């Protein structure tokens, strides 16, 4: 017989977890009650039912909101709480920034004698419609809030968290400019009119897989349609419709992805109409963006992020700068005018090709770009060949730095290291080794993703003087 689930009454939530969930004060048994962040925020009090026990936590679901947090606001998105895209839309923005300060503080709590952040989390100039890229999934497995809501299983939108490949049909999204809503809704309408098959993520059947919309801060729009196989009749129909009804679209592509997963970054992209690229402007640097290019999704805040990196690095014209995990080279190119030599490394070959194109576009001649696995490329021989770095910037993926890369950074002798982290947990782990040779000078969190728990951190470390 199943164990009866425990009920809790009038539990107040006081903290956020490293993943943005809300946490109660410890109970008598030492465990904290943990609730998804899109349900409750610190300051809320609720009656709850237990879902499951975890080490140190009891996961629970709210039954009734007893008291509202003073930071709670009414979400404006009709899909809030379902699609998972805006976990904190029900918290006012100053509170979100405090939560991000708390997440960073917790992630670094294992470190003794660490200084306080130089300032609170740097706010984003826009809290809604700030993204320059969104990907919408076509699916034959639509999520219905109400089981009687309808029988058509086709949807174009976002996957619902924890719901087995279900997609919520999105009609309005506040992540991107409203023209994105008009394009997406018309694409759905056209596909339904023409009875074009939507993809089934489990059966792996159906033509339409993903709709990708990019809108740059310069006002240009790129639309890419990802299909399971090439169907010229369908493609030509979409292109004709989009060019006729949305003359503001700058560039059109289609991508064929017949893999088992939705990742299309290594799939062929075919130009279908308009210009071959769109352009983004970050401060004094212009970037060419193609259908497969990686680029920061919040361009206005990216300028503030890069200015903070520049200020921390404190570069001069005699120095050699290494930029590790450079992506398409955006940080490197933003800083190139400040140094004598710039060396940038990235795993993805196509990203390095974009970096070289953008270096040429901006007349930057002091930058060299290299493609390969960081732990294999960055070694003593590479440093001897390209010059020892005076300053080193690293912006690794969420997993953080490979241990071999940490050792090479230490051995490089760089006097200053600017660590740009998108995951405070891996930052905290990497610091355990880095702090043996470097001291933390200052750091600050940056909000690149309002309405979500994601937080970026910029940290300056200086080489310790040998005794």
Q: Which residue among the candidates 77, 83, 173, 422 is catalytic per the annotation?
A: 422
Question: Three-state SS string across 341-378, please?
Answer: EEEEEECCHHHHHHHHHHHHHCCCCCEEEEECCHHHHC
Backbone angles phi, psi at 93, to 5 degrees: -65, -40
CA distances to 142, 334, 345 from 327, in Å? 34, 13, 8
Choose among 318, 319, 336, 323: nearest CA to 282. 336
Question: Tokens 């089981």, residue?
Answer: 147
Sheet harboring 221-227: ordered strands across?
167-169, 155-159, 133-139, 208-215, 221-227, 251-256, 269-274
The answer on whether 368 is annotated among ligand-binding residues is no
- Rounded to a whole number of angstroms, the distance between the first and last alpha carbons of the chain is 66
Choose among 342, 341, 281, 343: nearest CA to 306. 281
The answer on whether 146 is annotated among ligand-binding residues is no
Residue 390 · residue 415 · CB < 8 Å: yes
Catalytic-residue membership of 86: no
The answer on whether 346 is annotated among ligand-binding residues is yes
DSSP strand pairing (416-421 vs 456-463): antiparallel
CA separation for the pair 443, 104 (Å, rounded): 10
The answer on whether 395 is annotated among ligand-binding residues is yes
The residues near 381 (Cβ < 8 Å, ≥ 6 apart) are: none
Question: Tokens 């729009």, residue?
Answer: 221
Helix (H) / strand (E) containing 110? none
Long-range CB contacts (within 8 A, 24+) of 14-18: 14/42, 14/43, 15/42, 15/102, 16/42, 16/99, 16/102, 16/103, 16/453, 17/103, 17/106, 18/103, 18/106, 18/107, 18/424, 18/425
| Catalytic positions | 422
Binding residues for S-adenosyl-L-methionine: 296, 325, 346, 395
Binding residues: 296, 325, 346, 395
């Amino acid at each position: 017989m199943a164990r009866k689930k425990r009920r809790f009454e009038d539990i107040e939530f006081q903290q956020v977890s490293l993943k943005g969930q809300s946490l109660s004060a410890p109970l008598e048994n030492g465990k904290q009650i943990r609730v998804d962040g899109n349900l409750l925020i610190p300051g809320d009090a609720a009656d709850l039912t237990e879902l499951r026990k975890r080490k140190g936590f009891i996961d629970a679901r709210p039954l009734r909101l007893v008291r509202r947090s003073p930071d709670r606001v009414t979400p404006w998105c009709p899909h809030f709480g379902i699609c998972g895209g805006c976990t904190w839309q029900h918290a006012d923005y100053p509170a979100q920034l405090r939560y991000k300060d708390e997440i960073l503080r917790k992630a670094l709590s294992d470190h003794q004698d660490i200084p306080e952040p130089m300032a609170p989390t740097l706010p984003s100039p826009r809290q809604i419609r700030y993204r320059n890229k969104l990907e919408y999934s076509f699916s034959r497995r639509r999520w219905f809030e109400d089981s009687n809501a309808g029988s058509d299983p086709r949807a174009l939108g976002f996957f619902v968290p924890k719901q087995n490949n279900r997609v919520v049909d999105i009609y309005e999204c506040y992540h991107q400019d409203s023209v994105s809503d008009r394009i997406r809704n018309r694409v759905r309408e056209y596909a339904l009119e023409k009875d074009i098959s939507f993809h089934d993520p489990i059966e792996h059947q159906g033509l339409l897989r993903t709709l990708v919309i990019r809108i740059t801060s310069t006002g240009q729009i790129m639309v890419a349609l990802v299909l399971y196989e090439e169907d010229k009749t369908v493609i030509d129909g979409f292109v004709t419709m989009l060019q006729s009804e949305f003359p503001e679209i700058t560039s059109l592509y289609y991508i064929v992805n017949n893999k088992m997963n939705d990742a299309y970054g290594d799939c062929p992209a075919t130009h279908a109409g308009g210009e071959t690229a769109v352009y983004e402007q970050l401060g004094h640097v212009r970037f060419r963006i193609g259908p497969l290019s990686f680029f920061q999704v919040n361009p206005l805040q990216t300028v503030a992020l890069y200015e903070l990196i520049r200020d921390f690095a404190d570069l001069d014209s005699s120095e050699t700068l290494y930029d590790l995990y450079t992506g398409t080279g955006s940080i490197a190119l933003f800083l190139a005018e400040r140094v004598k030599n710039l060396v940038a490394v990235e795993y993805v070959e196509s990203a390095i090709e974009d970096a070289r194109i953008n270096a040429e576009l901006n007349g930057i001649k002091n930058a060299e770009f290299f493609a390969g696995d960081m732990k294999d490329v960055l070694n003593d021989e590479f440093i001897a060949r390209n010059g020892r770095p005076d300053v080193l910037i690293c912006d690794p993926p969420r997993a953080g730095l490979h241990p071999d890369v940490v050792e090479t950074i230490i051995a490089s002798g760089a006097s200053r290291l600017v660590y740009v982290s998108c995951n405070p947990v891996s930052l905290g782990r990497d610091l355990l080794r880095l702090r043996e040779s470097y001291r933390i000078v200052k750091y600050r969190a940056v909000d690149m993703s309002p309405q979500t728990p994601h937080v970026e951190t910029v940290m300056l470390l200086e080489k310790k003087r040998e005794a």
